Structure 1
Amino acid sequence: MKLIGMLDSPYVRRVAVSLQLMGLHFEHHNLSVFRTFKEFSAINPVVKAPTLVCDDGEVLMDSSLILDYAEALAEPARRLMPAQLPERQHALHRIGLALAVCEKSVQIIYEHDLRPREKWHAPWLDRVTTQLHAAARLLDDAVGRHPFAAAHIDQAGVSTAIAWHFVQRTLPEVLPAAAFPALAAWSDQAETLPAFRAAPHGDGLVAAAPGA
């Protein structure tokens, strides 16, 4: 399998970390949807990151869909989604909040980076920022009810840690760490795990994590 996309995307990094935790081998190609648009489009004309090229050449996109496929490939003991209710429901609740943090953060970043400041749409930014704060508050509360356990980190834990780390690398002034202590502590602990260290936020390539 080939994972296409940059690790500065929380969606690409979510897949990269998860595939390693599930023990699934893949090659990482760190193509940018902006700087290497033409090269990316030759692999996936939609130019959407993450893109996963399966072993038979079929292309998958969207991190949640890619991870659903990965769950089917992984050995049962290494799958990251709880199989039974209510644990699966709780995991989906937290994943939804983590993905909302990612989505709203990216919307703010795009507004800031792709438009001149005089063309920023203040009502839109206010709305998205309010949504981002709501998702982070709910996620911080949910994380506070689930103590960190490195040996049993699931997809909710992965997505939570990566969402928080992303927003702290990109918009720390919007979500101050001191205001979300449970999220900050969770992310700090997750970032020490080999699968996270092997796929650090940025423009580098995934390195093989020990035991992956």
Structure 2
Amino acid sequence: MILIGRNLSPFTRRVAISLHLLDMPFERRELATATQVEEIRAYNPLARVPALVLDDGEILVDSSAILDHLDEVAGPDRRLTPAAGAARRTVNRLVAFALGAMEKGVTAYYELNRRPADVQWPEGAARADVQVRGGLDQLEAAAQAADTASGGWLVGDRIGQADISAVVALDFIRAVRPGLLADGELPALDALARRCAALPAFAATVPQTP
């Protein structure tokens, strides 16, 4: 398989981490949406990442759709999102908060760093930052309830998609919105992030500073 996109994209990174954790071999084509639009469009007409080229040449797009396929291939004992029931609903709820934080982090970053200065909208970026904080606060509450500082995982007794997406979201926001989060503000989430950072799947996908 071939994964399209850079680790700076949190959506791409959560797929890369999941592939590593599931021991599914893959190659990388680290194309950037800001500078390599046409190359990405060859894999996804929307010119968005990630895209995953399967062994038979089929191309999947959107991180959630890709991860759903990977769970299907992994099977019931190894999948990263539970197949059904309350646990699945909880994971999907937490992943939704993580994805929302990622999306609004992208919005704030582009508003203040990609637009020409004369058309930037600081109020829009500030509004997006509030939404980022709202998503991360929900993840922090879940991490506290799961006692991640003492070795717990967000849902269940092993690492899953909620943990992956929450940590990727936190790492991304710290990279693109430095200063938004004070040191020690999210202690349980930070504890989870430190544990995950020690895992090869996370260490191999550390995003570069934009």
TM-score (norm 1): 0.88
1:8-65 Cα shifts (integer Å, max 9, x gaps) = 1111000000011122221111111222223222333322100111222222111111
Establish whether residue 152 from structure 1 lines up as the match of residue 158 from structure 2: yes
Contact 1:23-1:78 within 8 A present in 2 as well: no
1:182 equivalent in structure 2: 188
Q: What stretches of structure 1 of length at least 5 have no aligned partner? A: 204-212
The runs of 4+ residues in structure 1 deviating greater than 4 Å are none
- 1:167 is matched with which residue: 134, 148, 173? 173
Looking at structure 1, the residues matched to 125 and 79 of structure 2 have their Cα atoms a distance apart, in angstroms, of 37
Q: Matches of residues 38-187 of structure 1 in structure 2 within 5 Å?
A: 38-146=38-146, 147=148, 148-149=151-152, 152-187=158-193
- CA–CA distance in structure 2, aligned partners of residues 183 and 177 of structure 1: 12
Cα offset, 1:142, TM superposition = 1.1
Check the 8 A contact 2:76/2:83 in 1, yes or no: no
Higher relative contact order (CA 8 A, sep 6+): 1
Matched residue SS, 1:178: coil
For 1:43 and 1:10, locate their aligned partners in 2 and report how far apart those are by CA, in whole Å: 18
How many residues are paired up?
A: 203
Structure 2 runs not aligned, ≥5 long: none
Q: 1: CA distance between counterparts of 2:109 and 2:4? A: 21
Amino acid at match of 2:100: A
Q: Is the 8 A contact 1:4 1:51 kept in 2?
A: yes
Tell me if structure 1 keeps the 8 A contact 2:108–2:126.
no
Percent sequence identity over matched residues?
A: 35
Distance in 2, Cα, partners of 1:174 & 1:117: 21
| Equivalent-residue separation in structure 2 for 1:30 and 1:49 (angstroms) | 10
Quickly say closer, same or farther: Cα 1:124–1:52, change in 2 above 3 A. same
Q: Conserved in 2, the CA contact under 8 Å of 1:51 and 1:60?
A: yes
1:201 matched residue in structure 2: 207
Question: How much has 1:162 moved relative to structure 2?
Answer: 0.7
State the distance in 1 between where 2:32 and 2:126 align.
28
1:149 Cα offset (Å): 4.2
CA contact (8 A) 1:177 1:184 kept: no
Secondary structure of the residue that 1:102 maps to in structure 2? Answer: helix
Distance 2:118 2:185 in 1: 30
Output the CA distance in 1 between the equivalents of 2:174 and 2:195. Answer: 15
Q: Which moved more, 1:24-33 or 1:115-124?
A: 115-124
**Partner SS state of residue 98, structure 1:** helix
Residue type of the partner of 2:11?
Answer: Y
| Letter of the structure 2 residue corresponding to residue 87 of structure 1 | A
TM-score normalised by length of structure 2 = 0.89
Give the residue type in structure 2 aligned to 1:106: V
Q: Distance in 1 between matches of 2:47 and 2:90?
A: 32
CA distance in 1, matches of 2:114, 2:20: 33
The SS at the match of 2:181 is: coil
Secondary structure, counterpart of 2:32 in structure 1? coil
